[in-house]
A = this chain, B = another copy of it.
Amino acid sequence: MGETKITSQDVARLAGVSQSAVSRVFTPGASASKATIAKVRAAAEQLGYRPNPLARAMITGKSRIIGLVVAYLDNQFYPLALERLSNALQAKGYHILVFTASNSQDGIERVVHDLMDYQVDGIITASVAMSSNLTERCAAAGIPVVMFNRGQPGAGLSSVTSANVEGGRKVAAFLLAGGHSRIAHIAGWQGSSTGRDRQRGFVEGLAEGGAAPHALVDGMFDRIIAAQAAKDMIDSPTPPDAIFVGNDHMAFAVIDQLRSSGLRVGTDVSIIGYDDVPLAAWGAYDLTTVRQPLNRMVDATVDTLLAQINDPTRAPQKIEIDGPLILRSSARLPKGH
């Protein structure tokens, strides 16, 4: 059952051509006569030959591997992104090498080394704060980087996000229109652009309506912290009548907390999240939330990355994709809506 390795030499022998000829037939962009192509393809077919990507990578420096750096996959948004990213990349002949990074400096240091060792053609970072020092090092090594669902102010790196500022603003306008008067915010991690932008848009949106946040806490994208923040808010002398939560993942924890405190979500207090992960639509939560258009974000990420791989001189792009507010029962509707 040897299935011994077939090399271009074997194919060359059978086809009666040189090894270089075989290589040319399988190298996109190289040229060969119709006759040669036919002979080589036939021989390759017969032997079941496929070029060794490792050997190819060593010469061209192109591995057709994309490094995906992720931290925690417990927020449903990321596994879904991973799945779609992998599908989209596979369709283009690339594969994803996964790097799980604890957010520690040490962990990230190792990841960067590994990334460069494996000669990945490009890097996608999702849900990770890579220090700009390190991202710069990847860039210096000539490896294109796209940050997915996170931006970095100033830095010359490509990123794909939803329109987070605008999203926050939409939520503020919606809650104001719904007649809420004590509107709080349990924000996404303020160390991330995503958390900051949503908060900024939200605060600006309130201001445009002549209001201000009734309470404001950094939920750190953490369920426990968010739940505690919610508890503190509703136990206060003047509890909020609406809470905008920085992402769905935390919003679910907030809803659990409110219910266990005997409050009716959508009636006593309105809750709005951000992401629109599938779970948001499930009966148990039925969460009003700002949708991040996953498919479009994935497509933009792949397009941007491949464009940069094919043309390293290309300037980094910061892409923002607008997403709609999805109305469900967790937040009171404006009259006449």
Q: Please report A residues at the B interface, Cβ cutoff 8 Å.
A: 1, 3, 50, 52-55, 57-58, 63, 65, 68, 70, 72-74, 76, 78-80, 82-83, 86-87, 90, 95-100, 113-114, 116-119, 137, 140-141, 252-253, 255-257, 259-260, 278-279, 282-285
Q: Is the CB of A53 within 8 A of B117?
A: yes
Give 12 A-B contacts (CB < 8 Å), ordered by A residue: A54-B58, A70-B83, A73-B80, A79-B79, A86-B98, A87-B100, A90-B100, A96-B98, A255-B283, A256-B284, A279-B279, A284-B285
Set of chain B residues within 8 Å of A86, measured between Cβ atoms: 98-100
The reply to whether A95 and B118 form a contact with Cβ atoms under 8 Å apart is: yes
Chain B positions within 8 Å of A55 at CB level: 58
Instruction: Report Cα–Cα, A118/B119, bound state, in Å.
Output: 14
Report the nearest B residue to A140, measured CB to CB.
Answer: B1
Please, which residue of chain B has its CB at the minimum distance from the CB of A88?
B100
Q: Which of B3, B58, B79, B82 contacts A58 (CB 8 A)?
A: B58
Are B117 and A98 in contact, CB atoms less than 8 angstroms apart? no
Contacts A95-B99, A96-B97, A99-B90 given; does A140 touch B3 at CB 8 Å = yes
Q: Report yes or no: B141 in contact with A54, Cβ–Cβ below 8 A.
A: no
- Cα of A254 to Cα of B278 in the assembled complex, Å: 16
Q: How far is the CB of A45 from chain B (nearest CB, A)?
A: 13
A113 pairs with B54, CB closer than 8 A: no
Nearest first, the 6 closest Cβ-Cβ pairs linking A and B are A256-B283, A79-B79, A284-B284, A73-B79, A1-B140, A86-B100
Q: What distance in Å separates the Cβ of A74 from its nearest Cβ neighbour in chain B?
A: 6
Q: Which of A53, A90, A116 has the most CB of B within 10 A?
A: A90
CB distance from A126 to the nearest CB of B (A): 12
